[in-house]
Amino acid sequence: MSRWSRVASLAPIPVIAVLLGTLLWRAAAPAAPLLSHPIDFNAFYCGGQVLGSGLDPYREGPLRACEAAAYRDIGIRMEPYLVVPAPFPPYVLWAFAALALFPFGVAERLWFVTLLLVLGLTVVVVRQLTTLPLIAVAAALFCADGIASLVIGQLVPLVVLGLAATALALRKQRYAAAAAFGCVTLLEPHLGVPVCVSLMLWAPPTRKSVAAIGVVLATVSLTPRPSRLIEYVTQVLPAQGRIEGGNFTAQYSATALIHALGAPLDGALIAGTLGFFVMFAFGIVVAKHLARSCGDPAYIALAPPAFVLCGGAYVHIHQFAAALPLGLALYGAVRSKAVLLAALLALAVPWQALYEELPLAGVIPHHHVADPLPALRASFDPKALAQSSWDIWARYRSAVDGRTALEAVALKVPTWFGIVTICWLGYRRSGLRVSRSTALRSRFAGG
């Protein structure tokens, strides 16, 4: 065993200790639901329930009625007039409509168990993509893909499993399975679309299957009313982007950073959106060259979602788990193993989530600001987009947070270091830069 392999086998121990400590701390909370604060799952569950009942899942009225009833079912008091949006396309909400057939308390437990099973299966699949020890893979995934998602009931673990399974299927040349698993990543569209485009460009045997599944998802999204999909694209996405673009406390996107540095929100949104498409294209190009350089088609799927997380217009902490399979797979392919291990550790630990969930959260300074209830009550309109309520709440949470700008940035720096370093190492290993310079030298030499 090499020196860095021994380091890799020991490095997860403190990470696992932190993970277990966090879970024990949460488990000690009296009468806590399995998802300690299922704010996101509540929104997904209710979005599915509302859509299944024939109402509009993007409006305050039907969402608020469902979310309040769901929280009462598990004994949690919801802020009056607060509505948490479900900013997903209809095909995603239809998947949650099946869970919404159960009472919320039952559905919450089923979802928690599902996430745990998905995490365990992801460890098994990713272990086959890397030369790192099983304990290192498990620690990385259970921290980045577990802590950040389990607390709020996020669906990112399914996306990471779909991504890893796509990569493994490509390596085994099982193209129909690769297409099916690749489309699972569309549960998070801004991560899944780059995966599917990369598959169709660089793995031609997957094209018909990906296209067919895409048609099915589009058809589902147009059911029962095409207006729901149009509403999602033209109203929900822009509204959600504006809210999160101004919410640096919760966001890791280029948009939020640029706006926090003083740029107008409109300009920051344009810059973040352009950055997303640039990294979208760059990641797909790197994926092709990385797969060729390493002789492993798994990188066709693994590279694109990691690159779109470098900046972009909308990035939450739990979504960074989608870059871990790339980093873990690169361990056997790069020379700078120490740098990669540091990047994996920085990315695997959800620093901000731990800071807020552990007892340390008690020392976070808070500003005293006006109660948001009057504003939430005054703005509540059953026909308005749910983002109207969420905008007020996001502004309130940002105002309450008493951390300085430097402290807020400091909690994000390790994650940014991790994602940028992994993408940089992938780019270097792809030989893309070397190939270009070699081509230029050849052209001048021949001219």
Model pLDDT for residues 343-370, shown as the tens digit of each residue = 999 999 888 877 766 544 444 555 556 6
Q: What angle do CA 151, 156, 162 make, to 5 degrees?
A: 145
Kindly state the average pLDDT of the residues 173-191: 97
Q: Please state the φ and ψ torsions of residue 59, each to the nearest 5 degrees.
A: -110, 150
**Residues 328, 407: contact at Cβ < 8 Å?**
no
Gap between the Cα atoms of 236 and 232, Å rounded? 5
**Which residues face 59 on adjacent strands?**
385
Kindly state the average pLDDT of the residues 18-42: 59
Kindly state the average pLDDT of the residues 381-401: 88
Q: Sorting pLDDT into bands at 50, 70 and 90, what band is 39?
A: confident
pTM above 0.85, yes or no: yes
On average, the pLDDT of the chain sits at 86
Residue 378, H or E segment: helix 373-379
Please classify residue 413 by burial: count the beta carbons closer than 10 Å to its beta carbon, then call 0-12 exposed, 13-18 middle and 19+ buried: exposed
Q: Which amino acid is at 13?
A: I
Comparison of pLDDT for 110 and 79, the residue scoring more: 110
Q: What are the extents of the domains in the chain?
A: 3-358+366-441
pLDDT one-digit tens code per residue, 221-274: 998 889 999 999 999 999 999 999 988 888 999 999 999 889 999 999 999 999
Cα diameter, the chain:
77
The 10 Å Cβ neighbour count of residue 331 is: 21
pLDDT at 28: 47
Q: Sorting pLDDT into bands at 50, 70 and 90, what band is 385?
A: very high
* DSSP-derived secondary structure letter, 319: G
Gap between the Cα atoms of 236 and 137, Å rounded? 36
